[in-house]
Structure 1
């Protein structure tokens, strides 16, 4: 008596595995997308909350402005420094533990945009408007003058809400 599988039996098993993969894979991808959407919303919540805390502790001046001067041009490296280092009320920053720099840090790291794994932040100047559509070149788009920060990712979620409008 022969032992083993015939070619027909092997083809049947492969066909069954293919059918199962065709059923399971889209479901897995859907959950992966939902996880990225949830992470994006949570990261935006954290960023918005910490921007508000920073502004409250710096006489209403949001992070990103040099020397707490809201007429100056905000920069993303300064935004990162304000969020990640210790600061004083004047918006100057230093390493954590430096005397007289008693505020912050507000984040341990700037969170990633979960769709593109980028934390690069496009700064919108005081007299500039947000782009109408997400340019898909940055992790975040931030306008310090209004304390508004957006996710830079095109497309919509399952509820037809633009990611850019989260």
Structure 2
């Protein structure tokens, strides 16, 4: 999905069946990870090796630190892959964070929810996301140890353990010329 949102893939649903073009090249790169998955560092290396002029940044650590990283990177306009697990379980799951929901107070935006695309859920019907993860307690002195993860048919407490920000490398600026 990140490849499609960044304009690198035209039809992400057909990457495995394409014989030529960017989808075929992408599939050849990701095929070794298709059934086994990838660590966040392997994902970052893969993103870098695709040659799409992207700069992946990995953040791992405590839930609150990962959530702060996600909010900061989304606020800067970057897509973020978030790795999480449910409380009391060790099975990890990755989703694509595409935006923030929150409250605007004057000039200050206070985010409270990450808007997500979850590949294991149904497609987002006439909406921009199909899952949500509460940010919870990022204000000074209030650090949350978990988040609430909500989809159309699932709600649970989860812990974010890492994330990969997908930054587009800035194109070199050219000198401006005056028009006559």
Q: Which has the higher helix share?
A: 1
Q: TM-score range by the shorter chain?
A: under 0.3
Q: With structure 1 as the length reference, what TM-score do the two structures score?
A: 0.26
User: Which structure has the larger Rg?
Assistant: 1
**Which gives a bigger RCO, structure 1 or 2 (Cα 8 Å, sep 6+)?**
2
Q: With structure 2 as the length reference, what TM-score do the two structures score?
A: 0.25
